Copies of this chain bind each other. A is one copy, B any other.
Amino acid sequence: MTAILWYWPSIPGRGEFVRLALAAGRIAWHDSARDLGAEALMADMARDRATPPFAPPYLEIDGLTIAQTGAILAYLGEVHGLAPAEPAGRWFAHQLQLTIADLVAEAHDVHHPVGVRLYYEDQIAEAKRAAQGFREERIPKFLGYFEQVLERTGTGWLTGDRWSYADLSLFHLVQGLHYAFPLRMTAIEGDYPRVIALGHAVATLPSLVDYLASDRRIGFNEDGIFRHYPELDAA
């Protein structure tokens, strides 16, 4: 049965973590709002539901409606085999995903430190201050952690001897950081060879190659989470 994904149609955003998992797991999905538009998404959000979402993305699958990226991926991991089956690996994949989500949220807040309701142009000064700490401390702290995890597994993957949704998400996180902070990422990526190698391995997964080359994969842009504002980047 085809899963139904609801997410904003013009940005990768948090929906992209779900799209990557669906594509890599060869789970057919209908990307509803890309066909029907953002208004259809908002109308669907307002529908009466047993388990209403607070915000997109949400996924209708197996008779359930699940919102929150981390919960959707945990479900796909557990029920559709996109994470280790044994408990330690399954919970570790989820823990890693929520850690990735923390840095994703911080990457967003760099360009909107004062609030989501204000335009970037109204908080550039604050964004510049926030970006410095993000570039110099937060990116290295998180990437260093994932590098250590990969050093420990020694398999090239975060949770065992094959990929899980957490690997896909780390790939996308690094892609987003490269898009938003190319000077900084180019300067430091040599410190995280295993993280970079994981990205290449994900990008060449047979189940993902077609997806990544297709127009189902939405490019990064300045309406999304990862935005390239040159004034926020530095080596």
Contacts and interface: CB of A to CB of B under 8 A. Distances in A.
Interface of A: 48, 50-55, 64, 66-68, 70-71, 74-75, 87-88, 91-92, 94-95, 98-99, 102, 105, 109, 113-118, 123, 126, 129-130, 132-134, 137, 142, 145, 148-149, 152
B133 A51 contact: no
Chain A interface SS verdict (over half): helix
Copies of this chain, count = 2
Contacts of A75: 91
Given A113-B114, A133-B114, A133-B118, A71 B51 contact: no
A137 to B, nearest CB: 6
A130 B148 contact: no
Given A130-B115, A133-B115, A134-B115, A70 B53 contact: no
A53 B98 CA distance: 11
Contact of A114 (B68, B74, B130): B130
Contacts of A67: 95, 99
A53 B118 CA distance: 35
A55 B70 CA distance: 17
A141 to B, nearest CB: 9
Nearest to A48: B152
Contacts of A94: 68, 70-71, 74
Given A54-B102, A70-B70, A105-B105, 7 more contacts: A51-B95, A53-B95, A64-B91, A67-B99, A71-B98, A115-B129, A115-B132
